[in-house]
Protein backbone atom coordinates (compact mmCIF):
# COMPACT_ATOMS: atom_id res chain seq x y z
CA UNK A 1 0.00 0.00 0.00
CA UNK A 2 0.92 3.68 0.13
CA UNK A 3 3.68 5.03 2.34
CA UNK A 4 2.82 6.06 5.90
CA UNK A 5 4.94 7.26 8.78
CA UNK A 6 4.55 8.08 12.46
CA UNK A 7 5.08 11.81 12.11
CA UNK A 8 5.29 14.52 9.45
CA UNK A 9 3.02 14.88 6.37
CA UNK A 10 2.31 11.12 6.21
CA UNK A 11 1.91 10.81 9.99
CA UNK A 12 -0.95 9.21 11.90
CA UNK A 13 -3.35 12.18 11.56
CA UNK A 14 -3.20 11.72 7.76
CA UNK A 15 -3.45 7.91 7.59
CA UNK A 16 -7.24 8.01 6.96
CA UNK A 17 -6.65 9.74 3.59
CA UNK A 18 -5.29 6.49 2.09
CA UNK A 19 -6.64 4.08 4.74
CA UNK A 20 -10.27 4.97 5.59
CA UNK A 21 -10.57 2.52 8.53
CA UNK A 22 -7.86 4.55 10.35
CA UNK A 23 -10.48 7.31 10.71
CA UNK A 24 -13.20 4.85 11.75
CA UNK A 25 -14.38 3.28 15.01
CA UNK A 26 -12.98 0.51 17.22
CA UNK A 27 -9.46 1.88 16.77
CA UNK A 28 -6.35 0.88 18.74
CA UNK A 29 -4.40 1.52 20.86
CA UNK A 30 -6.39 2.93 23.80
CA UNK A 31 -5.62 4.31 27.25
CA UNK A 32 -6.79 1.97 30.04
CA UNK A 33 -8.55 4.40 32.36
CA UNK A 34 -9.30 2.80 35.77
CA UNK A 35 -12.78 4.36 36.02
CA UNK A 36 -13.80 2.95 32.59
CA UNK A 37 -12.62 -0.63 33.23
CA UNK A 38 -15.06 -3.42 34.08
CA UNK A 39 -14.03 -6.62 35.89
CA UNK A 40 -15.22 -9.74 34.02
CA UNK A 41 -14.92 -13.03 36.01
CA UNK A 42 -15.37 -15.03 32.78
CA UNK A 43 -11.99 -13.86 31.45
CA UNK A 44 -9.93 -17.06 31.84
CA UNK A 45 -6.11 -17.30 31.90
CA UNK A 46 -4.60 -17.15 28.41
CA UNK A 47 -3.56 -20.66 27.29
CA UNK A 48 -0.45 -20.85 25.12
CA UNK A 49 -0.07 -24.00 23.01
CA UNK A 50 3.24 -25.07 21.34
CA UNK A 51 5.03 -21.87 22.38
CA UNK A 52 8.13 -23.82 23.38
CA UNK A 53 9.82 -23.97 19.95
CA UNK A 54 12.66 -26.40 19.26
CA UNK A 55 16.09 -24.84 18.64
CA UNK A 56 16.02 -26.83 15.39
CA UNK A 57 13.19 -24.51 14.28
CA UNK A 58 14.34 -21.56 12.11
CA UNK A 59 12.49 -18.25 12.60
CA UNK A 60 12.89 -15.24 10.30
CA UNK A 61 13.77 -11.93 11.97
CA UNK A 62 13.09 -9.07 9.56
CA UNK A 63 12.89 -5.30 9.31
CA UNK A 64 9.69 -4.31 7.46
CA UNK A 65 10.53 -0.62 7.53
CA UNK A 66 8.06 0.06 10.35
CA UNK A 67 9.16 -2.44 12.97
CA UNK A 68 11.32 -5.49 13.53
CA UNK A 69 9.32 -8.72 13.40
CA UNK A 70 9.90 -12.38 14.15
CA UNK A 71 7.91 -14.95 12.15
CA UNK A 72 6.14 -17.63 14.22
CA UNK A 73 4.96 -21.11 13.12
CA UNK A 74 1.17 -21.56 12.88
CA UNK A 75 1.13 -24.66 15.12
CA UNK A 76 1.79 -22.19 17.94
CA UNK A 77 -1.67 -21.06 18.98
CA UNK A 78 -3.98 -19.67 21.65
CA UNK A 79 -6.66 -21.77 23.29
CA UNK A 80 -9.48 -20.66 25.57
CA UNK A 81 -10.63 -17.84 23.27
CA UNK A 82 -13.87 -17.98 21.21
CA UNK A 83 -11.84 -19.60 18.39
CA UNK A 84 -8.41 -21.19 17.97
CA UNK A 85 -5.99 -18.39 17.00
CA UNK A 86 -2.71 -19.47 15.34
CA UNK A 87 0.48 -17.43 15.70
CA UNK A 88 1.82 -15.42 12.74
CA UNK A 89 4.50 -13.02 13.98
CA UNK A 90 5.64 -10.84 16.84
CA UNK A 91 6.95 -7.28 16.54
CA UNK A 92 7.68 -4.22 18.63
CA UNK A 93 6.87 -0.53 19.10
CA UNK A 94 9.36 1.71 20.89
CA UNK A 95 10.39 5.33 21.57
CA UNK A 96 13.88 6.74 21.01
CA UNK A 97 17.25 6.35 22.75
CA UNK A 98 16.78 9.34 25.07
CA UNK A 99 12.98 9.02 25.28
CA UNK A 100 12.21 5.45 26.43
CA UNK A 101 8.44 5.97 26.09
CA UNK A 102 7.17 4.06 23.09
CA UNK A 103 4.33 1.78 24.12
CA UNK A 104 1.04 2.10 22.22
CA UNK A 105 -1.42 1.18 24.98
CA UNK A 106 -1.13 3.22 28.18
CA UNK A 107 -2.33 2.59 31.74
CA UNK A 108 -3.96 5.65 33.30
CA UNK A 109 -1.85 7.79 30.95
CA UNK A 110 1.42 5.97 31.74
CA UNK A 111 3.39 5.07 28.62
CA UNK A 112 5.96 2.27 28.91
CA UNK A 113 9.35 2.16 27.14
CA UNK A 114 8.13 -0.26 24.48
CA UNK A 115 5.40 -2.79 23.66
CA UNK A 116 5.57 -6.24 22.06
CA UNK A 117 2.68 -7.61 19.98
CA UNK A 118 2.17 -11.31 19.25
CA UNK A 119 -0.18 -11.46 16.26
CA UNK A 120 -2.46 -14.51 15.86
CA UNK A 121 -5.21 -15.24 13.32
CA UNK A 122 -8.50 -17.15 13.62
CA UNK A 123 -7.40 -20.45 12.02
CA UNK A 124 -10.73 -22.08 12.90
CA UNK A 125 -12.53 -19.86 10.36
CA UNK A 126 -9.83 -18.65 7.92
CA UNK A 127 -7.21 -20.72 6.01
CA UNK A 128 -4.52 -18.01 6.19
CA UNK A 129 -3.81 -14.66 7.77
CA UNK A 130 -4.45 -12.64 4.59
CA UNK A 131 -8.08 -13.79 4.60
CA UNK A 132 -8.37 -13.13 8.35
CA UNK A 133 -6.73 -9.70 8.63
CA UNK A 134 -9.83 -7.65 7.67
CA UNK A 135 -12.54 -9.79 9.36
CA UNK A 136 -14.09 -8.63 12.66
CA UNK A 137 -13.22 -12.02 14.27
CA UNK A 138 -10.00 -12.41 12.27
CA UNK A 139 -7.14 -11.56 14.66
CA UNK A 140 -6.11 -11.89 18.30
CA UNK A 141 -3.07 -9.87 19.41
CA UNK A 142 -1.31 -10.28 22.76
CA UNK A 143 0.25 -7.03 24.00
CA UNK A 144 3.15 -6.99 26.47
CA UNK A 145 4.41 -3.79 28.09
CA UNK A 146 8.20 -3.50 28.22
CA UNK A 147 10.08 -1.40 30.78
CA UNK A 148 13.81 -0.73 31.16
CA UNK A 149 15.30 -2.57 34.13
CA UNK A 150 16.87 -6.00 34.58
CA UNK A 151 18.67 -7.68 31.66
CA UNK A 152 16.33 -10.23 30.07
CA UNK A 153 18.14 -13.30 28.64
CA UNK A 154 14.98 -14.46 26.80
CA UNK A 155 14.94 -11.28 24.65
CA UNK A 156 18.61 -11.68 23.83
CA UNK A 157 17.80 -14.91 21.97
CA UNK A 158 16.81 -12.68 19.03
CA UNK A 159 17.81 -9.10 20.04
CA UNK A 160 21.46 -10.02 19.52
CA UNK A 161 20.62 -10.58 15.83
CA UNK A 162 18.92 -7.21 15.09
CA UNK A 163 22.26 -5.88 13.78
CA UNK A 164 21.57 -8.18 10.80
CA UNK A 165 18.24 -6.41 10.13
CA UNK A 166 19.41 -2.79 10.33
CA UNK A 167 17.84 -1.75 7.04
CA UNK A 168 14.40 -2.20 5.48
CA UNK A 169 13.77 -5.68 3.99
CA UNK A 170 16.89 -7.23 5.60
CA UNK A 171 16.28 -10.65 7.17
CA UNK A 172 18.22 -13.11 9.31
CA UNK A 173 17.41 -16.64 10.53
CA UNK A 174 17.10 -17.17 14.29
CA UNK A 175 16.94 -20.52 16.11
CA UNK A 176 13.63 -21.30 17.80
CA UNK A 177 13.29 -20.84 21.56
CA UNK A 178 10.56 -20.81 24.21
CA UNK A 179 8.42 -17.78 23.25
CA UNK A 180 6.64 -18.14 26.59
CA UNK A 181 9.79 -16.69 28.23
CA UNK A 182 9.06 -13.31 26.57
CA UNK A 183 5.73 -12.98 28.39
CA UNK A 184 5.01 -11.88 31.97
CA UNK A 185 4.49 -14.49 34.67
CA UNK A 186 0.77 -13.79 35.19
CA UNK A 187 -1.17 -14.83 32.06
CA UNK A 188 -4.39 -14.51 34.10
CA UNK A 189 -4.11 -10.73 34.56
CA UNK A 190 -4.93 -8.73 31.44
CA UNK A 191 -7.01 -6.00 29.76
CA UNK A 192 -9.45 -7.14 27.00
CA UNK A 193 -11.25 -5.06 24.33
CA UNK A 194 -12.29 -5.09 20.68
CA UNK A 195 -9.99 -2.95 18.56
CA UNK A 196 -7.94 -2.68 15.42
CA UNK A 197 -4.54 -2.95 13.84
CA UNK A 198 -2.52 -0.02 15.22
CA UNK A 199 -0.97 0.54 11.80
CA UNK A 200 -2.56 1.13 8.40
CA UNK A 201 -4.87 -0.27 7.12
CA UNK A 202 -6.22 -0.14 10.76
CA UNK A 203 -8.77 -2.91 10.15
CA UNK A 204 -11.14 -3.23 13.19
CA UNK A 205 -10.34 -6.95 13.30
CA UNK A 206 -8.41 -7.43 16.55
CA UNK A 207 -9.43 -9.05 19.83
CA UNK A 208 -6.86 -7.34 22.09
CA UNK A 209 -5.41 -8.95 25.19
CA UNK A 210 -2.87 -6.67 26.92
CA UNK A 211 -1.16 -8.17 29.94
CA UNK A 212 -1.33 -6.14 33.16
CA UNK A 213 2.30 -6.68 34.16
CA UNK A 214 5.29 -5.42 32.14
CA UNK A 215 8.44 -7.41 31.40
CA UNK A 216 11.91 -5.85 31.85
CA UNK A 217 14.81 -5.55 29.46
CA UNK A 218 18.10 -3.77 30.17
CA UNK A 219 18.93 -0.29 28.87
CA UNK A 220 21.44 -1.91 26.47
CA UNK A 221 18.75 -4.22 25.15
CA UNK A 222 16.34 -1.30 24.78
CA UNK A 223 19.01 0.65 22.86
CA UNK A 224 19.47 -2.36 20.54
CA UNK A 225 15.84 -1.77 19.52
CA UNK A 226 15.87 2.03 19.60
CA UNK A 227 19.20 2.78 17.92
CA UNK A 228 20.06 -0.15 15.64
CA UNK A 229 17.26 0.02 13.09
CA UNK A 230 16.51 2.16 10.05
CA UNK A 231 13.28 2.45 8.03
CA UNK A 232 15.30 3.05 4.85
CA UNK A 233 16.99 0.53 2.56
CA UNK A 234 20.72 -0.18 2.96
CA UNK A 235 21.68 1.47 -0.34
CA UNK A 236 19.83 4.75 0.38
CA UNK A 237 22.30 7.62 0.83
CA UNK A 238 20.53 9.22 3.82
CA UNK A 239 19.57 6.53 6.40
CA UNK A 240 16.26 7.20 8.24
CA UNK A 241 16.40 5.97 11.88
CA UNK A 242 13.42 3.78 12.89
CA UNK A 243 12.18 5.53 16.03
CA UNK A 244 8.93 6.35 17.81
CA UNK A 245 6.95 3.75 15.84
CA UNK A 246 3.88 3.97 18.09
CA UNK A 247 0.35 5.24 17.44
CA UNK A 248 -1.26 7.44 20.09
CA UNK A 249 -4.27 6.25 22.12
CA UNK A 250 -7.60 6.44 20.22
CA UNK A 251 -11.14 7.42 21.25
CA UNK A 252 -13.08 4.78 23.19
CA UNK A 253 -16.35 5.72 21.38
CA UNK A 254 -18.83 3.61 23.39
CA UNK A 255 -16.44 0.74 24.08
CA UNK A 256 -15.75 -0.65 27.54
CA UNK A 257 -12.43 -2.29 28.34
CA UNK A 258 -12.68 -5.43 30.47
CA UNK A 259 -10.16 -6.60 33.05
CA UNK A 260 -9.58 -10.14 34.33
CA UNK A 261 -8.34 -8.92 37.75
CA UNK A 262 -9.96 -7.02 40.64
CA UNK A 263 -7.10 -5.21 42.36
Ligand X SMILES: NS(=O)(=O)c1cc(-c2ccccc2)cc(-c2ccccc2)c1
State phi, psi for 20 to the nearest 5 degrees.
-55, -35
| Total site size for Zn ion, rule CB under 5 A | 1
Catalytically annotated residue among 14, 66, 120, 233: 66
- Does residue 119 touch ligand X according to CB under 6 A? yes
Q: Which is nearer to ligand X, 22 or 53 (CB)?
A: 22
Contact stretch for ligand X (CB under 6 A) within 6-14, 41-49, 88-96, 229-237: 88-96
Q: How far is it, in rounded angstroms, from Cα 101 to Cα 95?
A: 5
Task: From 91, 61, 64, select the one nearest 167 (Cα to Cα).
Answer: 64
- Does residue 142 touch ligand X according to CB under 6 A? no
Q: How far is it, in rounded angstroms, from Cα 190 to Cα 84?
A: 19
Contact yes or no for 202/80 (Cβ under 8 A):
no
Task: From 214, 211, 215, 216, select the one nearest 188 (Cα to Cα).
Answer: 211
Query: Restricting to residues 108-137, which ones interact with Zn ion according to CB under 5 A?
Result: 117
Contact stretch for ligand X (CB under 6 A) within 15-23, 165-173, 193-201, 219-227: 193-201
Cβ atoms within 10 Å, residue 132: 23
Name the site residues for ligand X (rule: CB under 6 A): 64, 66-67, 88-89, 91, 117, 119, 129, 133, 139, 141, 197-199
Name the site residues for Zn ion (rule: CB under 5 A): 117
The residues annotated with a catalytic role in the active site are: 66
Amino acid sequence: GGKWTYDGPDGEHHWSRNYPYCGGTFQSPINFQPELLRFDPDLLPIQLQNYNLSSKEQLTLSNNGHSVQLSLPSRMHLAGLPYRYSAAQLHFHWGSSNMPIGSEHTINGKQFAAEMHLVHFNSAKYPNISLAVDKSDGLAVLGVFIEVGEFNPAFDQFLKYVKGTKYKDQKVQVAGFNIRELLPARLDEYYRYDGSLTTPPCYPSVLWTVFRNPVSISRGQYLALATALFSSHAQESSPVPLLGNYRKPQLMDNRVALVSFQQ
